[in-house]
Chains A and B, each alone.
Chain A
Amino acid sequence: AQSVTQLDSHVSVSEGTPVLLRCNYSSSYSPSLFWYVQHPNKGLQLLLKYTSAATLVKGINGFEAEFKKSETSFHLTKPSAHMSDAAEYFCVVSDQDPGGYNKLIFGAGTRLAVHP
């Protein structure tokens, strides 16, 4: 079965500085990987998706993630943090049920705080 580990439960950055949210996964086949963001009292919004087309994936709001198979990592980065980026971020890996259908496995989340 697939699994995903978000290495930091909390990350704090200053506005205008880079953001790095770390994610490692385990998978017995070529998975799909996603990053979602959840702002307070809101649902989850898809930031970006990796499906083996390109290892560097660009998402919305200036975020990007790089798939590194040798390191089984899919870290999320942004060059310059904005106050509106403060939220919870979830790394997600696809899993394949024995019945053949896919489902998503969510990490525990990383809470990003952005300070002025």
Chain B
Amino acid sequence: ETGVTQTPRHLVMGMTNKKSLKCEQHLGHNAMYWYKQSAKKPLELMFVYSLEERVENNSVPSRFSPECPNSSHLFLHLHTLQPEDSALYLCASSQDFFPLGLAGGAYEQYFGPGTRLTVT
């Protein structure tokens, strides 16, 4: 496997269920991200991990709980979701999270195929 993989690709869950999304990157990167992509809205950054430490949490409801056991794996644990949480959840990774410096620019991110989540 190469790049960034995500499982499952599709998930349907009830509002009382508990499920987890999994992301794995095979690029040797140090930073990993969770994004939410809803219809007609810009991509929303949810969580950022750098070297397995969370460095960003964009006011995401506690019903979303991330876990990063090592630099290659990232999970998003879901419980008691709402119908408005239905969306495409994208995982991404980058070489690192801190800037290279003004001359080097920002690191590009590599994305997985996403998990299409439907909450019923």
| A contact residues vs B (CB 8 Å cutoff) | 29-32, 34, 36, 41-46, 49-52, 90, 94, 96-97, 99-104, 106-109
Q: Are A94 and B43 in contact (CB under 8 A)?
A: no
Chain A residues with CB below 8 A from B97, complex form: 101-102
Q: How far is the CB of B58 from the nearest CB of chain A, in Å?
A: 9
Chain B residues with CB below 8 A from A45, complex form: 111
Q: Are A51 and B90 in contact (CB under 8 A)?
A: no
Q: Are B105 and A42 in contact (CB under 8 A)?
A: no
Q: Are A102 and B98 in contact (CB under 8 A)?
A: yes
Q: How far is the CB of B97 from the nearest CB of chain A, in Å?
A: 5
Chain B residues with CB below 8 A from A42, complex form: 113-114
Q: How far is the CB of A103 from the nearest CB of chain B, in Å?
A: 6
Q: CB of B61 within 8 A of chain A? A: no
Chain A residues with CB below 8 A from B111, complex form: 36, 43-45
Chain A residues with CB below 8 A from B106, complex form: 31-32, 51, 94, 102, 104
Chain B residues with CB below 8 A from A44, complex form: 90, 92, 111
From known contacts A44-B111, A45-B111, A46-B108, infer whether A107 and B102 are also in contact, taking CB-CB under 8 Å.
no
Q: CB of B55 within 8 A of chain A? A: yes
Q: Are B109 and A104 in contact (CB under 8 A)?
A: yes
Chain B residues with CB below 8 A from A32, complex form: 105-106
A42 CA to B92 CA, complexed, in Å: 13
Contact of A103 among B4, B45, B113, B116 (CB under 8 A): B45
